[in-house]
Structure 1
């Protein structure tokens, strides 16, 4: 992967300055998982945050992203 996994929320936000591709998305997801774990959050807590209503993604997109996050959580164990 060409991008380092973000170690802080600020580093995740800084990814917005990069062109979007699969690697940047993977790095962002991995970073969010690592940060959530360091904060003592469980997978259930993180997926609840992903599933929370927002203005960026519709429900089906949030469900899909939640599944991706759960799979990545397991792979990063």
Structure 2
């Protein structure tokens, strides 16, 4: 992977400076999971945040992303 897994919220936000590709997205998801765990959040907490209504993703995409986050959570355990 060309991007290290972010270990803080600031490092996740800093990824915005990079061109978007599959590896960047994977690093961002892994970083979000790492930060959530370090803050004592559960998978259920994180998926609830992903599923929260927003203007960026429709319901189908939020469900898809929630599934990806759940799979990554298990893989990074």
Cα deviation for residue 56 of structure 1 reads 0.7
Cα deviation for residue 3 of structure 1 reads 0.2
What is the TM-score when the length of structure 2 is the normalising length? 0.98
- CA RMSD after TM alignment: 0.4
Match status 1:73 vs 2:73: yes
Cα deviation for residue 30 of structure 1 reads 0.1
**Partner of 1:47 in structure 2?**
47
Cα deviation for residue 59 of structure 1 reads 0.5
What pairs with 1:1-77 in structure 2 (closer than 5 Å)?
A: 1-77=1-77
Structure 2: gaps (5+ residues): none
Structure 1: gaps (5+ residues): none
Deviation >4 Å, runs of 4+: none
3-state secondary structure, aligned to 1:15 = helix
CA distance in 2, matches of 1:8, 1:68: 20
Cα deviation for residue 63 of structure 1 reads 0.3
Cα deviation for residue 57 of structure 1 reads 0.5
CA distance in 1, matches of 2:57, 2:9: 20
- Aligned length, in residue pairs: 77
